[in-house]
Amino acid sequence: MSYQDLAKQIIQNIGGEDNVISLVHCATRLRFKLKDASIANTAAIEKLDGVVSVVQSGGQYQVVIGNTVSDVFKAISEISSINQNEPNPVDKKKEKFLDRAIDLVSSIFTPILPALIGGGMIKGLLMIAVNFGLNAESGAYMILNAAADSVFYFLPILLAYTSAKKFGANLYLAAVVGGALLYPSLIQAFTDGTSVDFFGIPVILARYTSSVLPIIFAVYFLSKVEKLCNKYIHPVVKNVLTPLLCLIIVVPSTYLLIGPVATYLSNAIGSGYEFMYSLSPIVCGVILGAVWQVLVVFGLHWGIVPIGYNNLALYGRNTINGMVGPSNFAQAGSAFGVFLRAKDVKIKQLALSASVTAIFSITEPAIYGINLKYKKPFYFALVAGGIAGGITGAAGSAALAAGPVGILSIPVFMGQGFGAFILAIIVAFFSAAIMTFFFGYNPKNEETNENEEILVSPLNGEVIDLEAVPDKVFSTGELGKGLAIIPSDGKLVAPVDGEIMVAFPTGHAIGMQTNNGTEILMHIGLETVELNGKYFDVKVKVGQKVSKGDTLVLFDREKILDEKYNIVTPILITNPKQEISLSTQAKVLIGDKLITIKK
């Protein structure tokens, strides 16, 4: 499927352009802000060739694409008006504070990731080159180092641009405010300790190069000033007076108040993190290393990423990346363990590709395509990440430049704790691979055809044809195709992963939809609704996600039979055009292959 076709399908299935408030992208995900996420067809999007998964978190509808996300983003921009107009209004009162905060941070930082990645990679390569004899005073080093350092040195200007897009301020006025914070004579005054005042008001000079919070707060203030100017200034002179007043108000205000307050807050955050880190770097490393990829799955890591950038600006070191970086290699290791253990060729190919991609810092294919799909590999990767995080925490490993952690960025960690960082990567990868190989993946559970969906038996009992059920509604197939089971005990479990769509309080019937959109109805007994819940214990509720084998209903088989009710249980596929094939076993146990569905 071409990028254009994929873009069209994504737009169509998220509810169209009118349902989109905003769209940004990071290294692997399209991050939509939707008016109504409930109308998006998640199942259809996840089936698209080129989409790895869909995650809804932090107030965002995240479509995980992988390495080609920028191409898909570009295609969406070309065929739609998304992001070309002013952001659609959204009722902030209906949004959770955490969702708003995560959306704010990710919207500001994700667009500049390519610049941070590029600068960080150059920084790492220069460190290697110097160790191999490159003169740090040579022209080649100076030029390449300028490319690497300028990204972080001029970070306020980059953040000014992305913040302006988020807050609705003029992009170029915001860039000017960012540039004012980096003006050479004022930086020199700070360096020399020269006192500066603004019409007699003393200015608290601070170093704003590489800073994060001051410019974000300043641009937010700019957006408010600009809106007031546009509202109250006459249109005849608005184009002249608005930029004049914005700059003459915002720049001095930033130097006099916003900058110092934001700098103090930035220092407080950095000191607070350093204090917690110093209490027990090992415990800090274990916790962050273990939970980091969980935070990545839900997009919540954006609440921590700015702290790392802030620490890099304050101290020149980012210990957060030192502790969480090996978790990328743990995910790669788990996927590699699946590759070694799997027998199905397609699974092996996917697992190996995902493992290699994760080694280069892009973990989503490994997480969504392999590890989360089989669950245990993901859990083992978390354990391995925690162990590795403890190692780097104890050694004080830290990144000396920004960017994601992969094999190409290893040189960025040269310095204190570098040997421990290398050891942690090795431990993370191989421990996750070994645990997954021996305990995390069973090739017997492989589905032999990726175009098929397998439903296992939700009951122990005797299988009968649907036509033999003494109820015309079921036997004629009016409700759907399938078979029936005469249960030998009183436990009904989920036949596949999915979501509960119907859960009658009487307990006699459960409806669910699989992750691939197949609709299933399981009706325990005939006319058992008349028992009004007697002898039934429902363990799930509507909207609940369930995994294959989870208990759905417990029922007292003997007492239902004593009440003279037929206990035969139809298992139906209610999608009208779904093509299925049925098991030929006379008796089944829970977990036996029961129904095969053609996708």
Question: Looking at the annotation, which residues are catalytic?
Answer: 26
Cα separation, 106 vs 93, in Å, equals: 20
Half-sphere exposure of 34 (CA within 13 A, CB side): 27
Phi, psi of 23 (to 5 degrees): -150, 130
Judged on CB neighbours under 10 Å (0-12, 13-18, 19+), 583 is middle
The CA distances from residue 52 to 43, 48, 342, 448, 501, in Å, are 12, 8, 20, 20, 24
Q: What does 349-376 look like in DSSP terms, one character per residue? A: HHHHHHHHHHHTT--HHHIIIIIHHHSH
Give yes or no for a contact between 219 and 174, defined as CB atoms under 8 angstroms apart: yes
Q: With helix as H, strand as E and coil as C, how does 88-106 read?
A: CCCCHHHCCHHHHHHHHHH
Strand partners, 454: 596
Judged on CB neighbours under 10 Å (0-12, 13-18, 19+), 149 is middle
Cα separation, 281 vs 283, in Å, equals: 6
Phi, psi of 31 (to 5 degrees): -110, 95
> What is the residue whose two structure tokens read 């590759």?
339
Nearest to 269 by CA among 332, 346, 212, 335: 212
Q: How many other β-carbons are positioned within 10 Å of the β-carbon of residue 137?
A: 7
Q: How many other β-carbons are positioned within 10 Å of the β-carbon of residue 12?
A: 13
